[in-house]
Amino acid sequence: MSFLHSLPLLSLIVWSPAAGILALLLLPLHKGQWFYRVAVFASLLPLALSLWLYADFGRGQASAGYDELVQWANLALQTPAGFQGELQISLTYALGIDGLSLPLLLLTTLLGVVAMVASLYVKKRQRSFLVWLLLLEIGLIGLFLARDVILFFIFMEMSMLALFLLIGTWGGSGREKAAKLFLASNGVGSALLLLGITVLVAGAGFRLEEGEALIGHYSSLYRDIAANLAEPGMWNKLWPNGVGEWRPAPMGERTEWGAFILLLAGFAIKSAALPVHAWCVKLYKEAPTAVALLHCGVMLKAGAYGFLRYGLFLFPVQAAELAGAIALLGLCQLLYGAILAWRQTDLKSMLGYAAFSQMGVVWMGIAAFNELGMQGAVLQMLSHGFIFALLFLVAGSLQERIGTTEMSGIGGLLRPMPFVSGIWLAGSLALLGLPGMSGFLGNFLSLLGVFEGYRGLAFGAMFGLVLTAAYALRGVLPVLFGGVKEELAVKRDARFAEALPMIVLLAFIIVLGCFPTVLTGMAEFSIEGFVQHITATRAGG
Amino acid sequence: MLELAAAFVLLAAAALGICSAIAGLRQEHARALITLAAGVNAAFLLVPLGLSLRTGRLEAQGAFLLQAAAFGLMLAGALLIAGAVKQEAGHGKLKGFGGMYYRSPWLAAAMTALLLSLAGLPVSGGFFGRLFILLETVSAGLYWVGASLLAAAAVTCYTLFGFIVQMYMRSYDGADKIGIKLSLLQRTMIGACALGSIVLGLVPGLLL
């Protein structure tokens, strides 16, 4: 397998689902039975490659060995008066991997396969559905590997377009409304992000190249922006003599605040944080199972990941000042979501609010601003992804059989469907934070981190966890036990194609709960480095 | 004097963008909607002119040229398709596009590419044209112009997705479900415009 070192591995991981898209488009219509197999196989490619990458990725090792950087386009800008050189905007296709991206990449590629397998419920225009789902997977993988802010934005928009079509075309009876609400909310989020990114590139993306002619680049490369923000005006100190009076201004304090707020607001909308979350619950109620599990499992994390990488790591001073407010909002999200989840009578709506509520713990962990909290946040992101993918998978399989996810229409499931019932019970126990399962450690580490800085909020979060247990058990007891409904008595248990992804997801939940370092060990070094950088910047600031 | 002219042009750009976007919200006619979206794109084109006036040097810039090329392609292609749909449906309303993906999938794909460019979404010429103009605007410290244009772009994106809803999520309400008929010339021109919009998105430096 060493030949993989000579290949652009990250690009292969991102674009390998495109091979499936091509194959699906080329298959004749009467080969309908092949569509599903081709899509599942195409989603296995990035999973296999990312597993290899995981095995090969040395702990604490820099990711430079995998980095890919291709100059995409250079565009000449109007030369400012007083500058004797050329001014350009450079676009780069830059991919990279580190301890923060790798666990999320694994989560994405695994849930990509699970989503393809869950597409067996889709009967209407299956080929188109699978094409858009593979496109969504490309977007999701790409945004975790992008090391160029504009490329990150492109992948995010690609995911948004695919999601819009998947919800609006293949969703439930209220699909169009849900898709439009998703578009409107995410459109605002995208506009805020794009403005934030533009401010970032214009203010901190400047790079100077001395050759035969002096060339000033506005670069959207993450490392250029990070370097300039860490040492503002560095290039001003290195400015050669005799190139005129003009200097690109480094970002001032007000501009930094502006960029940070824009990015924070944009990513908050993308990850459906309080108070901009209404679209996401509607989405989960209407979206097909494969889409709901991929959005809840990955896309929500993309917002939190984006904030970590482009908000917190680039603007630690601003993030530190707002950390208390973010932690408080996280707590409100945990409590408010839990209360709403408890009041739901529909399983999918309950899961939607539960997912929203549990993301509050991620925000609290991030806002803790210490190693424990951030590790907890990363672990909670992974755990959240696996647990909700599993629960949505079970809810989808119930909907497929019973035609509803209303709790009143489901009862005494344990006797006719013991396997599905067992998985639902296990998923719910993981959700309520049973020790030995991933939910426990994610919550525990995040709150331990929060406890260091915000004890009151940590105590408040304990109440949120009690509420979580209450609604998780409320979703289990009437569904599994109670009188068996007559029409349910004849329903079959899970098929092999349904059971296998459920078992795999449950295995990940248990492994992550018992041996969290399997996935988070690699994040440890990155987070350690980031925390040191943040602490140094705060001390310096 | 030049500074005053520059301020006027930039103000006009922001006003044109916002007015076009708001007017598009209540629009049901396909061609009018496309024209209003073109208004937002034209607003972006005005910005480099305003910036040139500010510096006192009028010169053709990369961002302007890219946006102008993308603008021409997207507008021509989308209007051609809207014309063909109007002829076929007998009315110019948006619902004439109903179920286009299932009747004429290639035409729907071409319209989607053109809409992406009109809405300024990646990967299309319209996206990069707007992005570079936005970068120049923000670099010049004109945040209010950038924010106004982005707000207008977001609203237009929402209204333009009405076409996507019709094409992919609705069914055709006409008597027959035969694909939309186009002449060879129409097909070639639409194909060229759609392809050009995407190529400009993939290789934004192509024309420069």
pLDDT above 70 covers what percent of chain A?
A: 90
The pLDDT value given to residue A61: 54
- The candidate with the shortest Cα–Cα distance to A113, out of A175, A170, A40, is A40
The closest CB to that of A157, out of B121, B164, B165, belongs to B121
Would you say residue B106 lies in a domain?
Answer: yes
- Find, in chain A, the residue whose alpha carbon is nearest to that of B204: A73
What is the tally of helices (H) and strands (E) in chain A? 20, 4
For residue A93, the chain B residues in CB contact (below 8 A) are none
Q: Give the integer Cα–Cα distance in Å for A475 and A341.
A: 9
Could you report the predicted ipTM of this complex, rounded to two decimals?
Answer: 0.94
For the stretch A132-149, pLDDT in tens is 999 999 999 999 999 999
HSE toward the beta carbon, residue A288, CA cutoff 13 A: 26
Write down the H helix ranges in B90-142. 100-103, 105-119, 125-139
pLDDT, average across residues A61-83: 76
Find the CB nearest B146 among A73, A154, A198.
A198
Check: CB of residue A376 under 8 Å from CB of residue A445.
Answer: yes
Helix%, strand%, coil% for chain B, nearest 5: 80, 0, 20
Report the pLDDT value the prediction gives residue A235, as an integer from 0 to 100. 61
Which of A89, A161, A218 is the closest to B121 by Cβ?
A: A161
Spans of all domains in chain A: 1-256, 315-533
Res A415: pLDDT: 81
Q: Which of B48, B150, B165 sits opposite A191 (nearest CB)?
A: B150
The domain total for chain B is 1
Locate the chain A residue with the closest alpha carbon to B49: A78
Nearest-Cα residue of chain B relative to residue A248: B139
pLDDT value of position A234 = 64
One-letter identity of residue A125: R
Test B138 with A165 for CB contact under 8 angstroms: no
| Helix locations, B120-204, DSSP H | 125-139, 143-164, 184-202
| Mean pLDDT score of chain A | 87
Partners of residue A169 in chain B, C-beta under 8 Å? 168-169
Q: Which chain A residues in 71-100 lie under 8 Å from chain B, judged by CB atoms?
A: 72-78, 80-81, 89, 91
- Cβ pair B150:A158 closer than 8 A: no
Q: Is A168's CB within 8 Å of B169's CB? A: yes
Tens digits of per-residue pLDDT, A475-485? Answer: 888 888 877 77
Using a CB-CB distance cutoff of 8 angstroms, which residues of chain B are in contact with residue A191?
150-151, 153-154
pLDDT in tens, B50-80: 888 887 766 657 888 889 999 999 999 999 9
> How far is CA B199 from each of CA A95, B123, B184, rounded to the nearest angstrom?
22, 9, 22
Q: Which band of pLDDT confidence, cut at 50, 70 and 90, is reported for residue A540?
A: very low
* Contact (CB<8Å) A195/B205: no
Element (H, E) at A217: strand A214-219
Q: Which residues of B14-35 are buried (b: 16+ CB within 10 A; e: fewer)?
A: bebbbebbeebeebebbebbbb
The pLDDT of residue A88: 82
Q: Output DSSP code: residue A82.
A: T
Per-residue pLDDT for A59 more than 60?
no
Q: What is the pLDDT of residues A262-284, one digit of tens each?
A: 999 999 999 999 888 888 888 99
Mutate to test the interface with A, among B57, B112, B135 (most CBs of A within 10 A): B135
Buried b / exposed e along B135-164 (16+ C-beta atoms within 10 A): bbbbbbebbebbbbbbbbbbbbbbbbbbbb
Cα–Cα dist A57/A350, whole Å: 38
**8 Å CB contact of B208 and A75:** yes
Are the beta carbons of A78 and B204 separated by less than 8 Å? no
Indicate the range of A344-348, B60-64, B180-184 predicted with least confidence. B60-64
Contact B131 A81 (CB under 8 A): no
Contacts of B121 in chain A (CB under 8 A): 157, 161
Predicted pLDDT at A242: 57
Q: What is the pLDDT of residues B156-173, one digit of tens each?
A: 999 999 999 999 988 766
How distant is the Cα of A385 from the closest Cα of chain B, in angstroms? 27
Chain B residues in contact with A77 (beta carbon < 8 A): 61-63, 136, 139
Tell me which chain A residues have a C-beta less than 8 angstroms from the C-beta of B128.
Answer: 73, 91
Bigger pLDDT: A507 or A235? Answer: A507
The answer to whether the CB of B188 falls within 8 A of the CB of B42 is no
Rounded to a whole number of angstroms, the distance from the CA of B43 to the nearest CA of chain A is 17
Counting one residue from chain A and one from chain B, the pairs whose CB atoms sit within 8 A come to 106
Range of the domain at B10: 2-201
**A195:B150 CB<8 A:** yes
How far is the C-alpha of A53 from the C-alpha of A509, rounded, in Å? 21
B7: closest CA of chain A, how far (Å)? 18
Interface-testing mutation among A78, A127, A148, with chain B (most B C-beta atoms within 10 A): A78
Between the CA of residue B100 and those of A171, A267, A383, B42, what are the distances in Å? 19, 34, 42, 28
Do B132 and A187 count as a contact with CB atoms less than 8 A apart? no
> Could you tell me if residue B149 is inside a domain?
yes
In a domain, B206, yes or no: no
Task: Flag if A179 and B165 touch (Cβ within 8 Å).
Answer: yes
Contact A196, A262 (CB under 8 A): yes
Q: Does A158 touch chain B (CB under 8 A)?
A: yes
With cut-offs at 50, 70 and 90, classify the pLDDT of residue A402: confident
Q: Which two tokens stand for residue A57?
A: 């990725």
